[in-house]
């Protein structure tokens, strides 16, 4: 019998998957997309994510607790194969690009002389060690890494003496805006929650509450960072700073630690690692269902090899950002469309089963 995930593990896992490198530029992105007091948009986007999470939970309820793979068994095999290859490819690309972007940022800001391929190799070795153990052990490791990193949010308290409500202005969503593309960009900051559809059946209890709490943790942290940024910088300064959160970290100093941002950014790599681990784990899970004759460890090695191969050609930040944008747009569609497809399948299957029982 497989070990069940506790609600606390699931909440922390959702938060760690969602929290990514986009946080360092998120205050600027909210300002560009929604204008003045753009930090409020985090609340709006979080509500939309919660609706999507409720839809995913409803699939589980209608499907009588069956996993996604059990639900799609009634679909023709060739359709399942195409769907699996498509999902695996998108999740493989997202997991890889998230890690590549973090590595490029790490090199650009702090470690210019370190090899990108060396850092990528180290990241993929850690990914292999976690993914091969399965979701239960990934969740346990995630809880430990959560306590290593969550304390960093309290560093925002150091900016309160220079925080000014005047900089927030009384105007809401004024100035130049990019609601469609910019709003979608902010939504992608909360992506990762959709992977719960793969393991929700393996949660002990309070499934809906667990996933909603996970998204709430991420949203509160994002909201706090953006709110402080809007009150710390002027609106024009915020729009001109590529990574305002890094600037916030540079403002902090301790007697025993000269560059706090170096430490915090390095610790943030633990969150990036979990995001990559979960996307590559998801890729492995869907492929494993279709290629059952191949041993799981060989499938994982193939996935990691493809990930490394993709990373070799990603040397320019602009190129990585473009790939992430395209993949994130596709993932937003998957996050809404996949539960709807599964819901239709679950309703149809339940109807057929009722007719046979009569």
Number of domain units in the chain: 1
Is residue 355 domain-resident?
no
pLDDT of 262 reads: 78
Beta partners for 203? Answer: 5
pLDDT of 258 reads: 65
- Residue 10, both tokens: 């699931």
What's the pTM value of the predicted model, to 2 decimals? Answer: 0.93
Distances (CA, A) of 288 to 34, 84, 310, 355: 42, 9, 21, 32
Segment 332-357, tens digit of pLDDT: 999 999 999 888 888 887 776 665 55
Residue in the block written with tokens 């969602």? 18
The share of the chain scoring above pLDDT 70, in percent, equals 96
How many angstroms separate the CA atoms of 247 and 242, rounded? 9
Residue 214 scores a pLDDT above 80: yes
Segment 288-301, tens digit of pLDDT: 988 888 898 899 99
The CATH code of the domain that includes 251 is 1.20.1740.10
Is residue 321 domain-resident?
yes
Is residue 354 domain-resident?
no
Mean pLDDT is lowest, of 60-64, 115-119, 259-263, for 259-263
Residue 314 scores a pLDDT above 80: yes
DSSP character at residue 1: -
Mean pLDDT is lowest, of 213-227, 242-256, 269-283, for 242-256
How many angstroms separate the CA atoms of 25 and 242, rounded? 6
pLDDT of 356 reads: 57
Name the burial class of residue 281, with classes exposed (0-12), middle (13-18) and buried (19+) by CB atoms within 10 angstroms of its CB. Answer: buried
Among the listed residues 98, 99, 42, the one whose alpha carbon sits nearest the alpha carbon of residue 217: 42
Higher pLDDT, 169 or 146: 146
Name the burial class of residue 113, with classes exposed (0-12), middle (13-18) and buried (19+) by CB atoms within 10 angstroms of its CB. Answer: exposed
Is residue 286 domain-resident?
yes
Is residue 167 domain-resident?
yes
Q: What does pLDDT average to over the chain?
A: 88
The share of the chain scoring above pLDDT 90, in percent, equals 46
Is residue 291 domain-resident?
yes
pLDDT of 246 reads: 86
Is residue 104 domain-resident?
yes
pLDDT of 224 reads: 92
Residue 78 scores a pLDDT above 90: no
Give the range of the structural domain holding residue 259, as residue numbers without chain letter.
7-349
pLDDT of 139 reads: 92
pLDDT of 355 reads: 57
Residue 50 scores a pLDDT above 90: yes
Across the range 213-223, mean pLDDT stands at: 94
Residue 207 scores a pLDDT above 80: yes
- Residue 213, both tokens: 């709490």
Is residue 2 domain-resident?
no
Across the range 141-166, mean pLDDT stands at: 87
């Amino acid at each position: 019998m497989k070990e069940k995930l506790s609600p606390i593990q699931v909440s922390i896992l959702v938060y760690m998957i969602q929290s990514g490198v986009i946080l360092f530029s998120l205050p600027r992105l909210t300002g560009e997309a929604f204008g003045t007091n753009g930090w409020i948009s985090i609340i709006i986007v979080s509500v939309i994510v919660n609706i999507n999470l409720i839809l995913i939970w409803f699939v589980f309820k209608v499907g009588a607790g069956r996993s996604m793979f059990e639900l799609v068994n009634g679909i023709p095999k060739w359709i399942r194969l195409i769907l699996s290859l498509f999902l695996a490819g998108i999740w493989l690309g997202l997991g890889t690009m998230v890690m590549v972007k973090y590595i490029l940022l790490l090199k650009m800001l702090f470690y210019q002389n370190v090899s990108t391929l060396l850092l990528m190799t180290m990241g993929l070795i850690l990914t292999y060690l976690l993914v091969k153990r399965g979701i239960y052990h990934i969740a346990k490791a995630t809880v430990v890494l959560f306590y290593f990193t969550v304390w960093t949010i309290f560093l925002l308290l150091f900016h309160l003496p220079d925080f000014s409500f005047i900089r927030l202005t009384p105007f809401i969503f004024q100035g130049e805006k990019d609601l469609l593309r910019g709003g979608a960009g902010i939504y992608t900051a909360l992506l990762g929650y959709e992977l719960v559809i793969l393991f929700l059946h393996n949660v002990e209890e309070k499934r809906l509450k667990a996933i909603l709490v996970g998204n709430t943790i991420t949203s509160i942290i994002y909201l706090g960072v953006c709110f402080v940024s809007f009150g710390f910088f002027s609106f024009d300064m915020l729009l001109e700073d590529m990574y305002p959160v890094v600037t916030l970290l540079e403002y902090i100093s301790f007697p025993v630690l000269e560059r706090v941002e170096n430490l915090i950014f390095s610790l943030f790599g633990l969150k990036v690692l979990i995001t990559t681990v979960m996307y590559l784990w998801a890729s492995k899970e869907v492929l494993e269902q279709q290629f059952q004759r191949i041993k799981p460890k060989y499938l994982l090695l193939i996935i990691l090899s493809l990930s490394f191969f993709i990373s070799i050609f990603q040397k320019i930040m602009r190129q990585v950002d473009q790939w992430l944008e395209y993949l994130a747009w596709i993932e937003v569609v998957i996050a809404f469309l996949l539960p709807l497809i599964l819901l239709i399948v679950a309703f149809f299957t339940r109807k057929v089963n009722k007719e046979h029982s009569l």
